[in-house]
Each structure stands twice: as C-alpha cells, then as structure tokens.
Amino acid sequence: ILQRMDRTISNYHIENLMGRSVFALSGGEKQKIACASSSVLLPGIMVLDEPSSNLDMAAIDDLRQVLSLWKKQGKTILIAEHRLYYLHDLVDRVLYVKDGEIEQEYTPAEFDSLSDGTRKEMGLRTFSLSKLKPANQYQTHTARQMELQNFCFAYKKQAPESLHIPNAKLPVGETIAIIGLNGAGKSTLARCVCGLEKKCGVLQVNGKALDWKARLKHCYMVMQDTSHQLFTESVTAEILLSMDDEDETVVEQILEQFDLLEYKDRHPLSLSGGQKQRVAIASAIVSNREIIVFDEPTSGLDLKHMREVAQSLKSLAGQGKTLLVITHDPELVMASCSYVIHMEKGQIKENYPLDVNGAKKVLNFFRI
C-alpha cells in the first residue's frame, strides 16, 4: 500500500501537498487530491462529474494531464461535463444524453463539425475556443469612470499584500470581466470594492468618494459559494429579502426568467448548485444596487442557463449598472462582457476593452 501511495504521489506531482490540511487547499489542489485518492485504488473505470467546475486555467491544465495519464494507463474515463473546450484533442467518443437516454454518439471530428445553430439547439457549449467571438461587437465605451484609490490589502499573518492597486480607473455602466489564476487577488479586489474589507482604500464614483461603509450600501456581491448568502426558508422569500420595496409580481417575473418559478416555495438550500447560483443572481438583480459583483456566476451551468446569466448581465449594464464578473469561463466573457481586468499577484497586470485586440488577449489567456 505504501509503495502504491508513493508511486501515486510521484505520478500526480503532489509531493508539496502531502501533510497539508485538505481544507486549506485551493480548488485545483483539492481536485488533484480527489483524483489521486481515486487512482491509488487502481480502478479500471474513472467517472468524473463536472471536474472543471470552479477551476482556473492552470488547474484545468493539470486536470488534462491527469486525464492523459489515465488514458496511457488504459483506464476507461467517463466525464459528465458542460465546459467542453478543455477536452478537445483528448476525448475519443462524445455521447449526447437527453431525457435520460443516449440520443447521439459522435467521434471528436463529427462533434467538432456541428454548426453553431445545431450546438445551440442541443444546449451545448463550444468545443473549441477559436470559435468564440465577443457578443458586444466592440461597442464604444462610456466616458464615465470609477477610480480605485489605495486599494491595498493584506490578510492577517500574510505577506506580501494580497492586493496592491495604488490607483486604477475603470468604466462605469459596463460589464467588466476580472480574469486571472487562483490567488491573483480577484476575490480580494471584489471584497474591497463591496466594502467587506474595512481597511482598503476609497472608491470614487462619479466624483463621489465612497469609504467601506458607503460601499456596503452601494454594492451587492454574489459569492462563489452561494450557500453562504441564502438565508430564508423559500426561494420567493429569498428574492423579497433583497428588494427595497417588496413586490411579489416582480419576484415571479424574475423567477420565470431564471427557470425557477416551479421552485418558488422550495427551501433555497435544497436546490442544486446551479439553481442556488441563479437564486443568488436573481436576488442581486432586484437589489437595485449600482455596482454588482459576481464571483463565478456560471459555475456548473449548461449553455442555456449560462446564456440566461449572460443576457441578465447585459440587461443590467444596459440599465447603467456597473458589473464586476470574476470568472474562469471564457464563454461568459465573450457572451456578456465589454471590458477586461487581468490580475496577477494582487495587481492589475492590464485592463482593456473587449475589442478585436482585447478578444485575442482573452483567448490567449484562457489557452495557457
């Protein structure tokens, strides 16, 4: 057993993780441990359920290496997945399941040749990033800006700073994608923008300086783990909780928009991960805040629901809201965003509009 364990640790390159608490690991590191723990038993069949959910590009690349290792070992690998592009040049067969039955079977070449219209009808995400193009058609960007001043922050007993942005200007009234690897400072930036971290700079919007207290009333955040912000005993009550003026007619409209109407009396925590995510997004939409932050809003969502989220983001931006979208999902970026912040080591490496050149930069990042 010990020899098998040593061999597995070496094969998965997880020597640096041994001895650490599982609860202190990143999502990608946990994924590695889960794969290694399954593999050490030497099973012939490996089954993965949405393994790329919440992983950044480096972790997805590690996942591809694990899958390649299993293929070389002759294992049968079955992957249930919405995000498909990372499986390009890796899978040998594609099974399309509908209503509990295998409706179609494809070779990789046949699957890759499906038209965009066919893929959309089937509810499938793209199989190749090269086919992605921005939906906003390189629109002209607003002249209004918000300014981050002295956005520098370090968690207790942690050095260097998790965030170091002395000054940055961003457009108001647009959907801004925040991209970067895990640990780049994306979530810390979002928490500081929303005022969830007290000692972190000043946000200036339309000439008005907002300290952390003012930002709490000005911003709304949809967390990555939405279970942390679902409090009531029904979906309807959850949406009403975010409204300044309660209106059940509006609640029913927003629930219908997000395919949640049939669950309006269900306890939010009894829903699936994707459904809970949509409840939290619906709550953000009715909150009437000027700045809304979304942390991985399409985690685990299929094409249909990803497009619904993208459409809602574009609609909110059309109302003049400023949206910050932390995401590892290039399809969401292309479908809904008009501006990009690329973060690295707690700093803004670069920020740019999602025009022709911006689209190339985004796709290059997601191909690491």
d(CA 66, CA 77): 11
d(CA 211, CA 248): 33
pLDDT (0 to 100) of residue 140: 54
Q: Is the pLDDT of residue 135 over 80?
A: no
Residue 2, both tokens: 């010990």
pLDDT 10s digits, 49-90: 988 877 888 888 888 999 999 999 999 999 999 889 999 989
- How many CA within 13 A on the CB side of residue 228? 6
- Summarize the confidence of residues 263-288 as an average pLDDT: 88
Contacts of 292 by beta carbon, 8 Å cutoff, 6+ apart: 219, 220, 221, 222, 284, 285, 316, 321, 322, 323, 324
Crossing angle of helices 303-318 and 273-286, in 10° steps, is 10
Strands (E), the chain: 45-49, 76-80, 94-98, 101-106, 145-153, 163-171, 175-179, 202-205, 208-210, 219-222, 291-295, 322-326, 339-344, 347-353
d(CA 202, CA 209): 6
Which domains can be identified in the chain, with CATH numbers? 2-131 (3.40.50.300), 145-365 (3.40.50.300)
Instruction: Find the angle CA(343)-CA(337)-CA(364) to the nearest 5 degrees.
Output: 55
Contact assessment for residue 194 and residue 203, using Cβ atoms and an 8 Å cutoff: no
Sign of CA dihedral 198, 203, 205, 211: positive
Rounded to two decimals, what is the model's pTM?
A: 0.83
- Summarize the confidence of residues 28-33 as an average pLDDT: 84
**301 secondary structure, DSSP code:** -
Q: How sure is the predictor about 176, in pLDDT bands with cuts at 50, 70 and 90? A: very high
Work out the number of other CB atoms within 10 angstroms of the CB of residue 260: 22
Q: Is the pLDDT of residue 45 over 90?
A: yes
Residue 133, both tokens: 């193009």
**10 secondary structure, DSSP code:** H
pLDDT 10s digits, 161-173: 689 999 999 999 8
Contact assessment for residue 85 and residue 111, using Cβ atoms and an 8 Å cutoff: no
Contacts of 356 by beta carbon, 8 Å cutoff, 6+ apart: 138
Instruction: Find the angle CA(77)-CA(83)-CA(88) to the nearest 5 degrees.
Output: 60
CA gyration radius, the chain = 21
Give 168-224 as a 3 state SS string: EEEECCCEEEEECCCCCCHHHHHHHHCCCCCCCCEEEECCEEECHHHHHHHEEEECC
Q: Is the pLDDT of residue 291 over 70?
A: yes
Residue with tokens 């070992």: 73
